[in-house]
Structure 1
Amino acid sequence: MFLDRYSTAMTQHIYSLASIFILSLTVFGDVIVLTSGEQLEGTIKSQDGQFVHVQHAILGDISIELKNITTLNGERLPESSAIAPDEEPEENHDDTLWNQSINVGLGIQNGQKNTSDLSTAYHADRTKDEHKVAFDIRYKMSKTDGERTLNRFASSWGNTWYQTDSPWDVFTTLQFDWAEFQSWDQRLVGDLGVEYEVLKTIENNEEFTLTLRLGSGFRKEFQSNNDHLIPEGLLGVGVNWVVSDKQTLTASTTWYPDYDDVSNYRLVTNASWNLQMSNIENIQFSIGFHHEYNSQVDAGVDNSDLQLTAGINYSF
């Protein structure tokens, strides 16, 4: 009898202690009000960008999404803490994209001589914080009566640092060429200089820019009679004419004299005309002109190298 009374008293005592313990958690715990209006009391263990991790006396360890919580301990959560169900985290995109274009040209002529030619080119440029980077790759091959008459590859990497409040800009260029019918097999050319904006006019959709270039560089030819490093000067003029929103014309001529022997020089002229095709976005009809004159070449090699191309240009 005594033992039964003692057991009953102990059980009631344990229940009382448990109730006091649970009540103490309720009184001294954290209060979380959910968006549904329900109130949850427990101990917040940690919190990250999406969840609050809570220890509850009955439910144990649980995680509650911030989007489902209205207040924590009486303080309303900032709106940025709650992520809408359909909202996706914003990706960190670079707002400065590359402007790219691919040009392909084909030509076939049947007559007294059968000729065919293939030309391809790739261009990419990007301007960010007044710094423009440009990359070009070009290849052209021509055949006459089944024999190759032209086989040439060229690549260049250019940098331009613009000065917003000045007509002066700074540029560098590094170019690598490979050719089958020249005085050299490979050639490396590098330049550093300044560009001056002589004239710039803008009227409606038309824009015209005239620039001058002055600088110095080097030329290194491989498998050539002139395989030593040649220091060169640079003097050039360039025109960029945006005729309309569908038509552009660019042209440049540059003289590269050998500092040690001015009679040894190169004269390089480039021009291109692009016409937007009607109702076809990003597609242009393109005509290109390239002429390089070398004053000193090996015997049997032409001083003049002229290339004309026509094809389709796709920009993206």
Structure 2
Amino acid sequence: MQRNLIVMRLTTSLFILIPLSLCASFASAATIHLKNGDTLNAPIIAETNESVTLLHDSLGSVTINRSQISEILAEKKAGAPKSDTLKSEEPAKPEDQGLLASGFMKDWSRELDIGLSGAEGNSQKFNLHAGFGADYSDDEDVWKFRTAYDSAQSDNETSQNQFFADLQKDWLRPGSLWFTYAQGRYDWDEFKDWDHRISGSGGVGYQFLKNDTWLVKGKAGLGGNQTFGGNDEKFSPEAILGLDADWKISGKESLSMGTTFYPNLRDSGEFRNISTLDWKISMDAALGIKIGLSNEYDSEAIGDTKENDFKYNASLVWGL
């Protein structure tokens, strides 16, 4: 009877020790630093969110609560990448190849938005909006590029046909909320009292609010615009006073607003104003919806040209 009891105990011990030994042979050795100052060197055979189980040479199987552990150092294996801690490495992000893999605008945030609307029946209507935007920023520079084309037809008669391209660069000052900027813009419009307009300006700006949710900045400077074609070819020197705000509502929703006044320095009381608002909702990393509003006011509009040129659009947005 006693002999059978001894055999049973040995058999039970083997059933316990063999799996533990196998686990230890495949487990990674680690150095465990405890908060009380003790250190344990043993293979880790099991882990949970609350505890770590070791197979120690002297203590056997030991389970330690993670709240008692200050650091876990993995043994560096030959041929394996070195790692100080047992952390799962995040997959490397694919390298940006630039716009359409051309290398141009590499590391910029780029997006294309297109909106279409129409009607067919008692009347024929077709509206098109196509835009492209790109942004880049680092500790020293901020670039912002915007371009868009808008067209509208009703019963085969064109009522809107215009294009613009706008580029602005900010030179940041490390440790300061002040910055300097330069901006250039080209406009073409079939229905204005001019055909082409080129404008440029430069000056200083200040970041009133800058955090993970808001960026609010203002700018002031001097510049001018030159119009070509049509009935109004002239150069107008201008002052510039603008305010821009970007609001990150959530990880998938953002709102951008801006308004800039251009007082005419030659003709007192005359001025231009360009105001924009863009509300964007991202559906995934590469696709979203954008609702855009814009208005340009020109107090010097002549002939059939209206002082206000208001546009609105809803479009799909693709990341490029």
**TM-score normalised by the shorter chain: which range applies?**
0.5 to 0.7
Q: Which has the larger Rg?
A: 1
Gapped runs of 5+ residues in structure 2?
1-94, 98-102
Report if the CA contact (8 A) 1:117-1:142 is conserved: yes
RMSD of aligned alpha carbons:
2.2
1:169 pairs with 2:175: no
Matches within 5 A, 1:94-243: 97-109=107-119, 113-128=123-138, 130-202=140-212, 207-243=213-249
Pick the aligned partner of 2:255 from 243, 249, 252.
249
The alpha carbon displacement at 1:225 in A equals 4.0
Please give the residue correspondences for 1:221-300 in structure 2 after superposition, counting only pairs within 5 Å: 221-277=227-283, 280-300=284-304
- 1:86-112 Cα offsets, whole Å, 9 max, x none, are xxxxx9x99961221111111124687
| Per-residue deviation, 1:213 | 1.3
What is the one-letter code of the residue matched to 1:242? K
Number of residue equivalences: 219
2:11 aligns with: none
Q: Verify the 8 A CA contact 1:284 1:313 in the aligned structure 2.
A: yes
Amino acid at match of 2:316: I
1: CA distance, partners of 2:260 / 2:268: 14
The 1-side partners of 2:207 and 2:136 are apart by: 20
Stretches of structure 1 that go unaligned for 5 or more consecutive residues are 1-90
Task: Answer with 290-299 or 124-133: which moved more.
Answer: 124-133
**Cα distance in 2, alignment partners of residues 246 and 228 from structure 1:** 45
Check whether the contact 1:96–1:126 (CA below 8 A) recurs between aligned residues. Answer: no
Letter of the aligned partner of 1:156 in structure 2? Answer: D
* 1:169–1:112 Cα change, 3 Å: farther
Query: Does the CA contact (< 8 Å) of 1:96 and 1:127 recur in 2?
Result: no
Q: Distance in 1 between matches of 2:113 and 2:181?
A: 25
- For residues 142 and 135 of structure 1, what CA distance do their matches in structure 2 show? 24
- Deviation of the 1:129 alpha carbon: 5.1
1:112–1:235 Cα change, 3 Å: farther
Distance 2:294 2:167 in 1: 18
User: Could you say which residue in structure 1 is the equivalent of 2:32?
Assistant: none
2:139–2:174 Cα contact (<8 Å) kept: no
Give the corresponding residue for 1:308.
312
Question: Could you tell me how far apart the structure 2 residues matched to 1:230 and 1:312 are?
Answer: 37
Measured after TM superposition, the shift of residue 132 of structure 1 is 2.3
| Residue number in structure 1 paired with 2:17 | none
Distance (whole Å) between structure 1 residues aligned to residue 121 and residue 303 of structure 2:
30
In the TM superposition, residue 238 of structure 1 has moved relative to its aligned partner by 1.4
Once the two structures are superposed, residues 88-146 of structure 1 have per-residue CA deviations (whole angstroms, 9 ceiling, x without a partner) of xxx9x999612211111111246875432001111223234511233322101001122
Contact 1:200 1:208 in 2 (8 A): yes
TM-score with structure 2 setting the length = 0.64
- The 5 A counterparts of 1:16-55 are none
TM-score under structure 1 normalisation? 0.65
In 2, are the aligned partners of 1:96 and 1:128 still within 8 Å (CA)?
Answer: no
**1:256-294 alpha-carbon deviations (Å, 9 max, x no partner):** 0110113221011011010011xx321110011110010
Shift, 1:300, TM fit: 1.2
Residues of 1 paired with 2:305 and 2:155: CA distance? 20
